[in-house]
């Protein structure tokens, strides 16, 4: 999304990023991603020249979320040593602290991209299905066999096969 990095817009982008992560079921990443994108947009607001126009992108590939902010200022940011009581100058250090990795990619004279990554939480393990003990039964029908196969596949964590189609019309 393209925007002017103004204080009023930074909060809106933070909410958009949070909503997208909720949509992707990545709730565990919301706080760190929101903090990181806030810091990167604040840097654009405070330091970027000639304008505050930037583009924010979030990308989820395999096991990694990447948040990027592109601006038109070719000057690369620097991580500074700051006094522990300082109220500014620690944005990139915070991004580094909450992210898995981060960096800057120059885009020639047209600007730069500052990015950070977060490890995507793994999918939750399937909930095991606990089957009742088997009881001897009379003859089993093909439908019973299909149900037993589907139950075994579910227990093994595999996607169950569709149950066979049945009709109320004889024949």
The pLDDT tens digits of the residues spanning 108-131 come to 888 999 999 999 887 554 555 554
Predicted TM-score of the model (pTM): 0.67
Structural domain includes residue 72:
yes
SS3 for the chain, per residue? Answer: CEEECCHHHHHHHHHHHHHHHHHCCCHHHHHHHHHHHHHHHHHHHHHCCCCCEEEEEEEEECCEEEEEEEECCCCCCCCCCCCCCCCCCCHHHHHHHHCCEEEEEECHHHCEEEEEEEECCCCCCCCCCCCCCCCCCCCCCHHHHHHHHHHHHHHCCCCCCCCCCCCCCCC
Number of domains observed in the structure of the chain? 2
pLDDT tens for 15-27 read 999 999 999 999 9
- pLDDT on residue 167: 38
- pLDDT on residue 76: 86
HSE value, Cβ hemisphere, 13 Å, CA-based, for 52: 16
**138 and 114 in one domain?**
no
Domain extent for 65: 2-119
Last residue of a domain, one of 100, 119, 138: 119
Q: For the residues 76-91, what does the mean pLDDT come to? A: 75
């Amino acid at each position: 999304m393209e925007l002017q990095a103004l204080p009023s817009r930074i909060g809106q982008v933070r909410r958009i990023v949070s909503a997208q992560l909720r949509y992707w079921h990545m709730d565990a990443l919301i706080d760190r991603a929101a903090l990181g994108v806030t810091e990167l947009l604040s840097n654009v607001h405070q330091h970027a020249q000639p304008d505050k126009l930037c583009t924010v992108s979030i990308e989820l590939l395999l096991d990694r979320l990447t948040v990027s902010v592109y601006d038109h200022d070719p000057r690369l940011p620097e991580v500074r040593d700051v006094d522990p009581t300082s109220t500014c100058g620690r944005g990139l250090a915070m991004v580094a602290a909450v992210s898995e990795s981060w960096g800057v990619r120059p885009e020639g004279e047209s600007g730069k991209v500052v990015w950070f990554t977060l490890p995507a939480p793994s999918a939750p393990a399937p909930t095991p299905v606990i089957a009742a003990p088997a009881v001897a039964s009379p003859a089993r029908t093909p439908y019973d066999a299909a149900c037993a196969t589907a139950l075994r596949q579910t227990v093994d964590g595999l996607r169950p096969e569709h149950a066979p189609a049945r009709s109320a019309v004889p024949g």
